[in-house]
Chain A
Amino acid sequence: MPRRYPYVISSALLAVAIYFGLAVTYVDQYLHADISLGLPVAARTLIAVLSGLIGAAIYLAADDLKSPRCANRLIFTGVILMLIGTWFGLFVAPPEEFMGDVQRIMYVHVPTAWNGLLALTVAFVCAIVFLFKGDWKWDARMEASIEVGVVLAFLLCVQGAIWAKPTWGVWWDWDPRLTTTAVLLFAFLGILALRKFVDDPMKRAIWSSVATIIAYVDVPIVYFSVRWWNSLHQLQSNPNTVSKPFWIPLRANAFGILFVMVGFIMLRARIASLRLETEIAPPPLEFGEAV
């Protein structure tokens, strides 16, 4: 069945990503065997990141918003990867030189940040595609990725506050990244509220696409303005610096959250499309061919 091809291809890409991003390092470090197929570290990282992102993108784009099986499998894989990453992050990785045990927050904080930004980028792409193609699928996907992105952004703010307290002695430090995340959180919460208040599906879809594009363009401007604003205040140590041997928990959590995020977006898009179907249903209209 040709409909299955995208899923097969993207599953293969995700497997490649896990192999080069995780398995090679893990086997090398703990079983002392070389399964890297002779590729240098930079090439392996590039392959892992690219195939992971492309695989996730194909999963999202190929989803016909009907059967939840693939999403469930993705979430299952993601949870297992996160269990591995959390185990390594909490119990195997040694405490960091300066930050001590608090450094372990980074193993979940940094992957959340990457994937949160990725989810909102997906929303931005969906908004542009919807404005050009006018296909309802992309509206459902946009709603889904905004909501998942908002959940991740909320988590990011909480984790950032928990990180800041033992490190700098305050819950909120006006760090550019953290502040930008908070601004993003409110901007996209506003878009979700807009979707709640507009009853006409067509207007809702177009308006929230426009608002998503405008809010996403704001991200770099907010980041740089907060950085300038805070630059006289204090120069911070970079919390992203992770020592070399601790890559495994970071990568496992990154892929784990990526898979869980893609699965969540697929499930949420299904909910949105079912709701859209009932909203558009009254006049007999072929789903997906409106506009």
Chain B
Amino acid sequence: MNGVVTGGWNFVIAAYGITVAVLAIYGLTLITRLREEKRHDAESDRY
């Protein structure tokens, strides 16, 4: 590439922001799904 890429902080922030957001949301869905399965499991044990 010719020359130096100047600026670009908005791209950096976008990349980090999306990474953090996706990982956090995925983690949250994991926790809720685990709770759901456990509740389901406990219910089916009762019968």
Contacts and interface: CB of A to CB of B under 8 A. Distances in A.
A99 B15 contact: no
Interface in B17-34: 18-19, 22-23, 26-27, 30-31, 33-34
B44 A163 contact: no
Interface string A103-114: 011001100100
Given A155-B22, A260-B23, A264-B27, A165 B11 contact: yes
Interface of B: 1, 4-9, 11-12, 14-16, 18-19, 22-23, 26-27, 30-31, 33-34, 37-38, 40-41, 44
Given A90-B16, A166-B11, 19 more contacts: A90-B12, A99-B5, A100-B4, A102-B5, A105-B11, A105-B12, A108-B19, A109-B15, A151-B22, A155-B19, A158-B18, A158-B22, A165-B11, A166-B8, A167-B5, A168-B1, A271-B37, A274-B41, A275-B37
26 contacts: A90-B12, A102-B12, A105-B11, A105-B15, A109-B15, A112-B19, A148-B26, A151-B22, A155-B18, A159-B18, A162-B14, A162-B18, A163-B11, A165-B11, A166-B5, A260-B23, A267-B30, A268-B30, A270-B37, A271-B33, A274-B34, A274-B40, A275-B37, A278-B37, A278-B40, A278-B41
